Amino acid sequence: MTLRNNTHLDPWSVKDIKNYSSLMDEFGIEPIETVLDRIPNPNKYLRRRISFGHVDLGVVLEALEKNEHYVVMSGIKPSGPFHLGSKITAEEIIYFQKLSSKAMVSYCIADYETYADNRMSFDESLKIAVENVADILALGLDPKKAYIYRQSTNKHVLDMALAFTRDVTYNMLEAIYGDKPFGLYMSALIQVGDILLPQTKDFKGPKPVIVPVGADQAPHIRLTRDIARKYQEEYGFILPSAIYHKLVKSLTGTAKMSKREPMGLLTLNDNPEVARKKILEAFTGGRETVSLQRKLGGEPEKCTIYELLMYHFVEDDDKVKTRYEACVSGKNLCGECKAYVAEFVAEYLRHHQKKRLQYIDLARKLLQTKTAT
Ligand code: SF4
């Protein structure tokens, strides 16, 4: 889809989204406030508007209110360790899974996309996928209410992508993504198959599906909904809903946190001591001098340290507010603040990594199970 400045939002290499309002206009994303009062016990992402928008979330909420089945569908590209953006998606999945006993999760390991985008072999990406699945299990995903699979071994998904190619032209894909290698177009079509899979006959037919995604994935949701509309008569698809979260800043403060920029990246696999060092060197919203900071206060909105607290590591809203106020009033200085957050994050990582170890065998087993072939 061409944005107003005549560029495409490229889900494979977008660096930053400067204007979320214009993204919402372009992709028909509604503000989350339009449905927030229907979501029970909103999690921190919803309360803090990190999950800022949605498409058709009301369809899923209606199923929740009527105690009917719905599916939470999302996935991960197994090209590297779980970073903080993956953690938001995972926790959104887990949150919507826990909201109802009728909620199932469909979690896709997008190894075809890793093959097309990162030129990684399926064997290589499988090793990473095992780690990724252990991460989401350690974060709290209930495997008994989840279907976890790799694209490359799921014949249903591949068959669906093949079927869609009959009605998708180069012009349609170019209009959404710009001029890309066919491997990436193919991975986008396979992803359409992933999102629509839970509504096929083998998965008990049409039902509401919510897809939690980063804002940079909006073109995939657009393509999926366009294709679902085309095949609505044949399959009875309900157009999938989506919930969008903001992109996570790199610790360098310059762009989106990405596996392609190691120094700005914080992952759940990071050695806690390495993570601590990265945080101590991270970009802050501090002033040039101590006296200026005491006088004017810091700028938490620009600060990656504050983002670590607010987005990722502190559940308690009052604690976040206290840190915010101590920053803008000039009471806190960046050195002390970074040391506090660095220790907090290092402790989180130590705890998470210990827990994740316990799930490695299960993760391996889940990925070896070839259901739905
Ligand atoms: Fe960021 Fe803390 Fe400095 Fe404020 S005091 S700008 S939150 S590091």
CATH of the domain at 52: 3.40.50.620
- Whole-number Å distance, alpha carbon 333 to ligand 1 midpoint, is 6
Same domain, 197 and 78: yes
Residue 4 falls within a domain, yes or no? no
Domain shared by 297 and 191, yes or no = no
Residue 202 sits in the same domain as residue 319: no
Residues in the chain with pLDDT values less than 50 = 1-6, 371-373
Q: Check whether residue 269 and residue 223 sit in a common domain.
A: no
Cα of 292 to ligand 1 centre, how many Å?
13
Burial class of 5 by CB neighbour count within 10 A (0 to 12, 13 to 18, 19+): exposed
Question: CB count, 10 Å around CB of 170?
Answer: 10
pLDDT in tens, 286-307: 999 999 999 999 999 999 999 9
Pocket of ligand 1 (CB under 6 A): 284-286, 298, 300, 303, 305-306, 327, 332, 334, 337-338
Residue where one domain finishes, among candidates 247, 282, 312: 247
**Integer Cα distance of 303 and 193 in angstroms:** 39
123 and 269 part of one domain: no
The CATH number of the domain holding residue 297 is 1.10.240.10
Final residue in a domain of this structure, among 247, 282, 299 = 247
Do 211 and 282 lie in one domain? The reply is no
Nearest CA to ligand 1 atom 3: 334
- Is position 7 within any domain? no
Same domain, 76 and 145: yes
Report whether 79 contacts 132 (CB < 8 A): no
CA 253 – ligand 1 centroid, Å: 13
Domains contained in the chain, number = 2
| Domain region containing 29 | 20-247
Residues 41 and 145 in one domain: yes
Q: Are residues 36 and 179 in the same domain?
A: yes
Radius of gyration from C-alpha coordinates of the chain: 21
pLDDT at site 1: 47
Cα–Cα dist 99/68, whole Å: 12
Question: What's the whole-model pTM score?
Answer: 0.92
| 169 domain residue, yes or no | yes
234: Cβ contacts below 8 Å, ≥ 6 apart: none
Residue 4's pLDDT is 47
Q: How far is the CA of 136 from the centre of ligand 1 (A)?
A: 30
Q: Are 168 and 279 part of one and the same domain? A: no
Using the structure block, give the residue that is written with the tokens 């700005």: 264
Specify the amino acid at residue 26. E
In a domain, 290, yes or no: yes
Closest CA to 12 of 123, 91, 101, 119: 119
Say whether both 197 and 330 belong to one domain: no
Counting atoms of ligand 1 from 1, which one is nearest the CA of 297?
4
Q: What per-residue confidence (pLDDT) applies to 370? A: 52
327 within some domain: yes
Residues 307, 248: Cα–Cα separation, whole Å: 8
d(CA 334, ligand 1 centre) in Å: 5
In a shared domain, residues 172 and 273? no
What is the structure's pLDDT at 7? Answer: 56
> Which is the closest atom of ligand 1 to the Cα of 286?
6
Q: Examine residue 294 and state whether it is found in any structural domain, yes or no.
A: yes
Beta-bridge partners for 285 = none
Would 362 be classed as within a structural domain? no
pLDDT at 189: 93
Q: Is residue 367 part of a domain?
A: no
Which tens digit of pLDDT belongs to each residue from 42-81?
999 999 999 999 999 999 999 999 999 999 999 999 998 9
CA distance 257 to 265: 6
Atom index in ligand 1 nearest the CA of residue 337 equals 2
Do 215 and 23 meet the contact criterion of CB atoms below 8 Å apart? yes
